[in-house]
């Protein structure tokens, strides 16, 4: 049987020694898109950064493609897992093309020159996201939304089995939100697993195969979108009334979804 692309066993996460969450058991299969929904400060980024090896595992383990990742090199990890962080301004004036080529480093080795094929893959990734014209622009001199798209292109250039995306649509305009969500749908079709967080339940409904509700460092529920995006669950998750949730969501949901009463 094919192992999950990523799996956690009795995982504890947090900053410093005091766990923010513990006993997290979670898994994701190839070709699955899972959206994490949870209030500000609930620990979604902490969870992602722990999965990615950017924060220490406080207890338990993270397994990727059936193997415990403790002791893996960064390059070995990056061949399997790509990360799209929340867009940052960047410091060094690399061109957009150079930033996306950095996604190929895990595959070509830090000291090898990128091949023609690497450049073609990087250009294809820019093209897929509709930002090929930004190719020669300086990364520090483009907009926050454009930077977000470049970071997605960089992660795609890694050709990972799993893409972890922290609020990938947060700084994008309406059109680019739709493009990125559609693109995530296509990645699923190519067999990639996607784990993403969002503050917009309608985005999760649009793209996810599964939704996990996250609070106080724990996955408190995990299931199909229609079972997770209900007024009762969202009201409890975000500490607002069910009627307020219904009023906010109903106009945004297409009638055929029919998940709201």
Ligand X SMILES: Nc1ncnc2c1ncn2[C@@H]1O[C@H](COP(=O)(O)OP(=O)(O)OP(=O)(O)O)[C@@H](O)[C@H]1O
User: Applying CB under 6 A, which residues contact ligand X?
Assistant: 15, 20, 38, 40-46
Rounded least distance, CB 231 to ligand X, Å:
21
| Strands annotated E in the chain | 6-13, 21-28, 33-37, 59-64, 67-68, 81-84, 162-166, 193-197, 210-215, 218-223
Residue pair 130/179 in contact by the 8 Å Cβ criterion? yes
Residue 46 or 148: which CB sits closer to ligand X? 46
Query: Which residue bears the tokens 């995530």?
Result: 184
d(CA 222, CA 192): 20
What is the rounded distance in angstroms from the CA atom of residue 181 to the CA atom of residue 189?
A: 13
Smallest gap from residue 177 Cβ to ligand X (A): 17
Q: Which one, 27 or 45, has the nearer CB to ligand X?
A: 45
Q: Answer for the pair 60, 114: CB distance below 8 angstroms, yes or no.
A: no
Interacting residues of 256 by C-beta distance below 8 A, sequence separation 6+: none
Measured CA to CA, the distance from residue 222 to residue 225 in angstroms comes to: 9
Closest distance of CB 56 from ligand X, Å? 12
Q: Which CB, 50 or 104, lies closer to ligand X?
A: 50
Task: Tell me the CA end-to-end span of the chain in Å, nearest whole number.
Answer: 39
CB of 17 to ligand X, least distance (A): 11
Q: What is the largest CA-CA distance in the chain?
A: 58
* Minimum distance, C-beta of residue 49 to ligand X, in the bound complex (Å): 8
Nearer to ligand X, 21 or 103 (CB): 21
Tokens of residue 140, six digits: 């520090």
Least gap, CB of 15 to ligand X (angstroms): 3
Between 18 and 254, name the residue whose CB sits nearer to ligand X: 18
Residue closer to ligand X by CB (options 12, 126) is 12
């Amino acid at each position: 049987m094919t192992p999950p692309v990523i799996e956690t066993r009795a995982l504890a996460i947090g900053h410093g020694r005091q766990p923010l969450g513990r006993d997290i058991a979670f898994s994701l299969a190839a070709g699955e898109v899972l959206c994490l929904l949870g209030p500000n400060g609930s620990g979604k980024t902490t969870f992602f950064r722990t999965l990615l090896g950017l924060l220490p595992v406080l207890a338990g383990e993270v397994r990727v493609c059936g193997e415990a990742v403790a002791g893996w090199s960064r390059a070995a990890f990056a061949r399997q897992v790509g990360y799209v962080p929340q867009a940052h301004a960047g410091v060094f004036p690399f061109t957009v093309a150079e930033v996306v080529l950095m996604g190929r480093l895990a595959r070509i080795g830090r000291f090898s020159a990128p091949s023609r094929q690497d450049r073609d893959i990087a250009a294809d990734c820019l093209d897929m996201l509709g930002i090929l014209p930004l190719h020669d622009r300086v990364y520090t001199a483009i907009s926050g939304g454009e930077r977000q798209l470049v970071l997605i292109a960089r992660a795609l250039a890694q050709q990972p089995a799993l893409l972890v995306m922290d609020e990938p649509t947060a700084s994008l305009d309406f059109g680019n939100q739709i493009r990125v969500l559609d693109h995530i749908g296509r990645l699923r079709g190519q067999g990639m697993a996607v784990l993403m967080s969002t503050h917009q339940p309608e985005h999760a409904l649009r793209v996810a195969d599964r939704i996990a509700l996250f609070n106080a460092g724990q996955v408190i529920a995990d299931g199909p979108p229609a079972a997770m995006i209900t007024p009762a669950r969202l009201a409890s998750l975000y500490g607002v009334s069910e009627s307020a949730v219904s009023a906010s969501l109903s106009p945004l949901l297409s009638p055929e979804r029919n998940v709201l009463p």
